[in-house]
Structure 1
């Protein structure tokens, strides 16, 4: 037999087990408080430097709207054409 702790030995407990896990009452209280709070997300603000819509480079349609202010690069914005259903990028600064 080996000396020292083995697989059959009981696990050693820490001296200070730390705070107790939250009870069901604590969880319910936190959940009800979270539901009463206003969400942290504000309404999106349209940027004066970015056009709200652009003509589609594929079909020429005028019904294209911006869906992301940033594209694959920081200097591009992403737009979606509602007529031909294509996604395209446009340079943000001209």
Structure 2
């Protein structure tokens, strides 16, 4: 069981968007992982200023899943506790 939160829930409401479901977040996470294969990965990932993190935290708080979006498009996926990061590096250019 996982809780899904957006970093800026109030901005999502202003735009008329509904918060993502866990299924939608997992779809975005898998999309980033799949499409980042073969792309050069940055040594360090600095989220863009206008980036939006969508965060899911396990109920026991041992694992966090983060998907960063930029202008509505998935950009990066991370599990910080495991040191995992995948970035769609073409989006950063």
What TM-score, normalized to structure 1?
0.23
Structure showing greater radius of gyration is 1
What TM-score, normalized to structure 2?
0.23
More helix by share: 2
More strand by share: 2
